[in-house]
């Protein structure tokens, strides 16, 4: 589980608006689940769904391939 602010801190080059749009898209397609907690300021947590967890090895493999191709 990660808060929106943690995700934004981990990805400093993406704007607040683009991060929000991307997370909404990932939520719609079932990759992440969003949990909003009441109060001020609003706290929002994101977690990977089962479908999202199944994608992790594929993304890791793609990253490893990219590193191998660009360093060869």
- Kindly report, residue by residue over 17-40, the tens digit of the pLDDT: 999 999 999 999 999 999 998 888
Give CA–CA dist 1/36, Å, rounded.
12
Map out the domains of the chain as residue ranges: 2-71
CATH number of 2-71: 1.10.10.10
φ, ψ for residue 67 (rounded to 5)?
-60, -45
Mean pLDDT of 1-16: 93
For 5, the token pair is 């602010």
Residue 25 CA to residue 35 CA, distance in Å, equals 15
Query: pLDDT-derived band of residue 72, with 50, 70 and 90 as boundaries?
Result: confident
The enclosing H or E element of 68 equals: helix 50-71
**CB distance 45 to 3 below 8 Å:** yes
Residue 42 is predicted with a pLDDT of 84
């Amino acid at each position: 589980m990660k808060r929106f602010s943690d995700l934004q801190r981990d990805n400093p080059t993406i704007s607040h608006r683009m991060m929000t749009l991307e997370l909404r898209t990932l939520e719609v397609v079932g990759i992440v689940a969003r949990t909003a907690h009441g109060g001020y300021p609003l706290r929002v947590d994101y977690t990977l769904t089962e479908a999202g967890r199944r994608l992790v090895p594929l993304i890791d493999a793609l990253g490893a391939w990219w590193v191998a191709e660009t360093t060869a």
